[in-house]
Amino acid sequence: MRQVVLDTETTGLSTGQGHRIIEIGCVELVNRRLTGRDFHRFLNPDRDIDEGAERVHGISRADLEIEPRFPEIVEDFLAFIKDAELIIHNAPFDVGFLEQELMLMQHPEPKITDHATVLDTLTMARGLHPGQRNSLDALCKRYEVDASKRDIHGALIDSRLLAFVYLAMTGGQADLSLDVEAAPARDGSRSGHPQGHKSAPTGERSRSGSAPTVDLPVIEPSAEEAAAHDAMLDKIRESGACVWDID
């Protein structure tokens, strides 16, 4: 199964006000493992960046003067996401901006769903954690994903963090180490990698993944606990976030 975790940074919050994409970051998952392949581009938006947006991502218009425009990178981008499942936090925002860029250049297939399917992890998180904060920052804390190297928002580092969060939300069966180099930043340096879940203490699990032999007690759930568990599974199924049921 091939999935692409995607994030964008923009000049502002609304396509209706003519705001544009200035950064796209994607990382690839195959069978729930990071492959080390990514897609990362900064883009010249040909317009000013809102002060509030610049405070969030730290990218100025001057930083982008020599960067390509969206039509120059679109074929590489669409080839990277082709036939994948896109994993996006607050998908309507990013998809809306991507589709606006495709429409502005009069692309013959301007809908993202013409190229890939879309999974919104914000909708998933709200189903799993109703009434709680479900921003990417909040989810990193909840699932113990180390975001300490993320000083500001960036499309590539945020997509990597979201990959770890998604894997944790959907069962945690994943290789959470990032033994691959990051893509070059605009200044030519290598961007830092977010770390995954906190490593297990010595003795819990070896690097090879084999667990020590331990006699663990088996505690059966009470009837009330089993009913609560079934109710939660029903809620997840209703939200569309269920990934383990097979027809």
Q: Which residues are catalytic?
A: 153
- Contact 196/145 with Cβ under 8 angstroms? yes
Token duo for residue 191: 């961007």
| Alpha-carbon separation of residue 163 from 30, 55, 107, 128 (angstroms) | 12, 24, 29, 17
Side chain identity at 74, as an amino acid letter? Answer: V
Between strands 85-88 and 21-30, the pairing is unpaired
Helix, strand, coil % over all residues of the chain, rounded to 5: 35, 15, 45
Distance of alpha carbon 156 from alpha carbon 5, whole angstroms: 9
Distance of alpha carbon 129 from alpha carbon 126, whole angstroms: 5
Distance of alpha carbon 73 from alpha carbon 91, whole angstroms: 21
Distance of alpha carbon 98 from alpha carbon 195, whole angstroms: 28
- Contact 147/161 with Cβ under 8 angstroms? yes
